[in-house]
Amino acid sequence: MFFMFDTLEGYIQPGTVEAELVQQVDFSRLPVHVAIIMDGNGRWARQRNLPRTEGHKAGSESVKEAVEAAARLGIKYLTLYAFSKENWKRPKDEVNTLWSLLKKYLAEESKVLLENDLKLKVIGERTGIPYLVRRELARVERLTRNNKRMTVILALNYGGRQEILRAIKKMIRRKSRTEEVDENLFSRYLDTAGLPDPDLLIRTSGEMRLSNFLLWQCAYTELWVTPVLWPDFRRRDLLQAIVDYQKRERRFGGLESAANNHRS
């Protein structure tokens, strides 16, 4: 069964906390790009005396909810930190579970992405990704490449510093001239070339760190940290993050609200 992510109608029940939050959202000022550090799967499992892999399984359900909620709200780009360079240091069994969950997600959700006009994009170092997962990723990226409603960006085998170094190496190989190197040009060599920087970065499970995620791109991003563990993350948490984000004044280093100036 595939279902359409229509509007918020029928998705948000009247009289609930979610409905109250929706009332507070200014839909003309939504963050264009939301990035999420999905953390706390292990702790969620430990609290229930379950193996860590069960936390990751529950975490993939939260991924589905976050994608649907973001699309319905009208977010244009959603980036999820699904596997970091550092995640390879975990026990083999856990690493294998993470990749096989991703493969399962792609197999199950590719039709949902397609039917809801969602595009999949991968950032990170593809060569290190297990072959079968890589093949599935390429298939879904190809399948959804013309979709327009929202782009789901999966950060896989990703590290911010490594991405910056890869960009520098590419620039050297292409013999960029010193005088032409500026922020704009450099951004075009990053994995995120062509994507706007995140407006809002959400991190679950209370940690106050960037953990090597989108280091260049998050220069002016608003950070929102919640104690909620990723497997417990629901549409209400995304709504709360957006409501809080909209209460903030983004100055981009200037003196007054400069969101529009910066983007022009």
Q: Give me the residues that bind ligand FPP (CB under 6 A), please.
A: 38-43, 56, 59-60, 63, 80, 82, 87, 98, 101-102, 105, 154, 205, 230
Report the amino acid identity of residue 219: A
Smallest distance from ligand FPP to CB 60, Å: 4
Nearer to ligand FPP, 39 or 197 (CB): 39
Smallest distance from ligand FPP to CB 92, Å: 15
Q: Is the Cβ–Cβ distance between 42 and 55 less than 8 Å?
A: yes
Measured CA to CA, the distance from residue 73 to residue 242 in angstroms comes to 10
Residue nearest ligand FPP (C-beta atom): 42
For the question of residue 39 being annotated catalytic, the response is yes
- Catalytic position from the list 6, 87, 184, 244: 87
Nearer to ligand FPP, 79 or 240 (CB): 79
Nearest to 213 by CA among 86, 59, 120: 86
Nearer to ligand FPP, 12 or 154 (CB): 154
Smallest distance from ligand FPP to CB 137, Å: 11
Burial of residue 94 (CB within 10 Å: 0-12, 13-18, 19+) is middle
Smallest distance from ligand FPP to CB 44, Å: 7
Smallest distance from ligand FPP to CB 59, Å: 3
Residue in the block written with tokens 């990226």: 141
Nearer to ligand FPP, 39 or 54 (CB): 39
Q: Is the Cβ–Cβ distance between 86 and 212 less than 8 Å?
A: yes
Beta bridge partners of 83: 156
* Direct distance between the N- and C-terminal alpha carbons of the chain, in angstroms, rounded to an integer: 43
Nearer to ligand FPP, 196 or 206 (CB): 206
Catalytic residues: 39, 87
